[in-house]
Amino acid sequence: MGADAIQTNGHDQTKLTGGEEIQRLRCFVKNYEWGKLGPDSLVARLQEANTGQRVDPEIPHAEFWMGTHESGPSHVEFGSGHGGSDKCMVTLKSWVLDNPNLLGSKVVDKWGCDLPFLFKVLSVTKALSIQAHPNKALAEKLHREDPLLYRDNNHKPEIALAVTPFEALCGFVPLKELKEVITNVPEITELVGSKAADQIFNVHEHDEDERVKSVVRLIFTQLMSASNNETKQVISRMKNRLILETKHRELSEKEKLVLELEKQYTGDIGVISAFFFNYVKLNPGEALYLDANEPHAYISGDCVECMAASDNVVRAGLTPKHRDVQTLCSMLTYKLGYPEILKGFPLTPYVTRYLPPFDEFEVDHCDLPRGKSTVFPAVPGPSVYLVSEGKGQLGTGSSKFLVNRGDVLFVPADNEVHVTGESDVMKLYRAGVSSRFFQTL
């Protein structure tokens, strides 16, 4: 079959052979104020390449969404692609709803006619809110009670895979460190009272897990519930104390972070609550996964993120958005300790897989030098591929595309995918349903 031109990334590309197995997606961008500006933003660079349209360098580009969620739906583009009227766009959700075979029967049986995961790229220059995502039961309750705030009834476990050095707060610090925090940050006791704060010294590593958690829950809830006026005054005193102490000693990394957060969110309770959380620094290629009801806040950097198809967020600090302090404090697990960092495992010499303990998703990362090829095995569920850098060829047995940075492709179930690099390095990411899910059926 002869080659025919298609429009992608704002200029003509070539579809090498026929077939409709693979479809290009036009994707949705969120311009949250914490996003990076202009060419510093990986999201902005991907949007420009994906749509062929220049982005405004003065507008923050925070999240690049790839999926079916109604808050940021991707579209499938059909047509010969010369920029004329013969092109048409439909949402990816409506396309898979009309063609459930694209998802595979096992996925449809489990999740219905929809993509069970949401794939994103984040470009972070200012801390995101201190937040957690509800489990399924709580998500259903929150959505039922306030559907405008909690837009769907799904849980939202997620993974963040660092593209650049990436920083986050995640989970509560170990008990020993938490005792040091209460001792060395007197402003916490000012806000929660000595009666509550001193309870941390009455629990020990060998105590029952629930006893330790109940004390942490009490102190953290008291802290997050402090009045705005008192919080602002106490944080101002803490800031002045730390600045004064820099004349006599080197501040810890956490103390330096807290001062930076105070510049971003002056007087916010999230500034001082940061002392309770692990300060995680990911190198490119390292990943952090977050289960339901675990507190976290992304601080800076670019990452690829994948999650169950939900946009439910319960916030309580470092944000101008709505806060639901009591819901957040009551839903957290209060599990203490440093989070597990995933480094992935090799599928091929060029592909690394990240497999968190969730059914809905897994993520593959591929670095492919010029002239090298690799194969992604056929799986019984759908996949979404993102080319984040470079160019090459991607295809199945009957359909092959030239792809560039910014291209996003939907690959239906049961398709083996062949990729060949045609630049110094071609980088791509794949999101798909967890291979563990299919193995357990």
Return the pLDDT at 6. 33
33 is in an annotated binding site: no
> What does the pLDDT look like over 304-314, one tens digit per residue?
999 999 989 99
Q: Alpha carbon of 73 to those of 6, 177, 403: distances in Å?
A: 22, 43, 21
Say if residue 165's pLDDT is above 90: yes
Q: Alpha carbon of 227 to those of 108, 120, 231, 261: distances in Å?
A: 48, 36, 6, 19
Strands 60-61 and 36-37 come out as antiparallel
Say if residue 2's pLDDT is above 60: no
Average pLDDT across the chain, whole number: 92
Rounded Cα distance between 117 and 204, Å, is 40
158 is in an annotated binding site: yes
Rounded Cα distance between 62 and 29, Å, is 7
24 is catalytic: no
131 is in an annotated binding site: yes
> What does the pLDDT look like over 33-74, one tens digit per residue?
999 998 999 999 999 999 999 999 999 999 999 999 999 999
List, in sequence order, the alpha helices (H) in 38-102. Answer: 42-51, 92-98
Strands 277-282 and 345-348 come out as unpaired
Start-to-end Cα distance in the chain = 39
> What does the pLDDT look like over 227-245, one tens digit per residue?
999 999 999 999 999 999 9
> What does the pLDDT look like over 3-17, one tens digit per residue?
333 333 443 343 433
Rounded Cα distance between 230 and 224, Å, is 12
List, in sequence order, the alpha helices (H) in 162-204. Answer: 175-184, 186-192, 194-197
| Bridge partners (DSSP) listed for residue 64 | 29, 121
Which position among 45, 315, 323, 430 bears the catalytic label?
A: 315
Q: Tell me the two tokens of residue 349.
A: 């010499």
Say if residue 133's pLDDT is above 80: yes
Contact 36, 125 (CB under 8 A): yes
Neighbours of 39 (CB within 10 A): 11
> What does the pLDDT look like over 70-112, one tens digit per residue?
999 999 987 644 344 456 899 999 999 999 999 999 999 999 9
Say if residue 438's pLDDT is above 50: yes
